[in-house]
Structure 1
Amino acid sequence: MAKPFASSADTAPKAETLEVLADGVYAFTSEGDPNVGAIEGEDHVVCFDARATPVAAADWLTALREHTDKPVRHLVLSHYHAVRTLGASAFGAAEIIMHAETRALIGERGEQDWASEHARMPRLFKEPGSIPGLTWPTITFSAQISLALGGDRGDLVLGHAGRGHTKGDVYAWLPDRKILFAGDLVESEAALYTGDAYHKDWLRTLDGIAALGAEVLVGGRGAVVHGAENVEAAIEQTKCFLLTLIAAVEPVHAAGGDVRTAFDAAHQALEPTYGKWPIFEHCLPFDVQRFWDELDGIVDPRIWTPERDREVWALLQDRG
């Protein structure tokens, strides 16, 4: 039986949970859907990631407003993917912050990514007509910037540890509280999407993330992780997914095999551990194709479009 394309058949609503991580620090999770968060300053709020549409973002903001009525001054976007950026207009943020590479990627492929992700994950695009267009930053940076939260709240550090899930991934770090918002650089019991990744660079980037010494981690998907040992385990889980994928695909490529054989090898290696986790079957064809491209010498990810998505899905995942 043919598998439904990507997450197109995933139509059931997910339970949404707002978790207070510390005084004025919040995470909003949704059973494996993309996570978002917020940090209160003395007289403002910094939000981290935006959801896929303004209407979907409004659900998160409604929950947040039960805890604070401070205005959103900064909206930080972890990377360029549509499910993270297209809801930005709901926040009314004075400043939208992203990495300089993320801004470049939006310019290069934002429209195509929007169409691709909408087709792959239609449930996340609640009332897509509410999206006014692509999201553009007012502030970009390359390495690190700090946002003063005011009073005795310290600083929120925004950093770029290197290429990983995309070329421009940003994390948000509260050093005084050891709370880290990692975006899709780290997942908690959720499969990795690596279709726009730099697989081997990502492993080095994770070493930088681990060196921060977080004791609370909000990953891109999955439950919030509490405790230094559990944070370390989540980072190692992310590494293990990458290493297993690399170890399965690389020998097939070296032996002159084809990408379908590589996909089968990767599926066999990864499925026992990760197969029941959110979006595993959705992600794996795109993951394998991207790493295969890297092995072919294609340094930067090729642009995903709905047409290319379907071609890769038919070749690798939907073979009857």
Structure 2
Amino acid sequence: MRSIWNGAISFGLVSIPIKLVNATENRSISFRQIHTEDGGRIRYRKVCELEDREVTQGEIGKGYEDADGTIIPITDEDLSHLPLPTAKTIEIVAFVPADRIDPLQMDSAYYLAAGGAPAAKPYTLLREALKRSQKVAIAKYALRGRERLGMLRVVEDAIAMHGLLWPDEVRAPEGVAPDTHVTVNDKELDLADALMDTLGEIELDELHDAYREALEEVVAAKAAGEAPPETPEPAKAGKVLDLMAALENSVRAAKESRGEEPTAPEKKEAQVRRLPERKTSRAAPKQTAGKKSTATKKTAAKKTASAKKSTAKTAQGAKKTAAKSTTKSTAKSTAKSTAKKSTAKKTTARKRTA
């Protein structure tokens, strides 16, 4: 691996010659900008605004833009007078526990390689001291024209250095957390713990960049004149109606993916429960089983009594109707007989008169 910086580690009065090597590499696929009509490359050229011409790298220097837009030229000679004792030295300033370092501060990672045979002894001494103390070293160093903060730790048999952001370069998480007050109960926490336990751990070496692999397949297909492979549509995420049901389903799905059979309570609880709909009117208060049976008996008795009353009323009505019809028929027959008698009397009287 090619070194990007040569210097020394200052460990008290001990000086360890080292070489700085990149510990990471960028494996992402990069694209060039092209003209879509003819496929020509799009390039950026460095042009002087005053002379309106392209300039070479040797003609380019540094300048600081003031608040009013004025450019103040800064030369390499001006920078050489800066009080930068760490220009070629990684100066260890303290040893602290690893958990004192906020992961938000971590930046680029490097390996520190011993610079020759004379550096092997002090290099090994520093490495073993870090191992036994179970601490990390905080150091200052200069790289690419500025002083930086670093953390030294042991990785296998080598010393690695992580570039750290200065504390004032890390933003506070203001306005990020939810403003709404939310209460989480113990059952929800238990389900979340069960989900974490079910998912378990994973070897980070097994993870890979699936997007980059798919992109490589697309590039290879286009280069061969073939149609790019079709990507399956992602599953549509359903609406989370109940957090508990979502957690229960997640635990069940995680167990099934690992070949474990969910227990009977989990199968029963894994059914999605919809939230109850809001009612516009107040519901009647619930009654106990004893009150319900008593009320049922009273209702049945009331129905029986009303049925008897209606039957009695019907019978009375029938009797009244029959009595009325009998009275009417009697009156009719009496009227007829009276009429006959009067007719007979009239006839007799007429005969007598004749």
Q: TM-score, normalised by structure 2?
A: 0.17
Larger Rg: 2
Identify the structure with bigger relative contact order (alpha carbons < 8 Å, sequence gap 6+): 1
Q: TM-score, normalised by structure 1?
A: 0.18
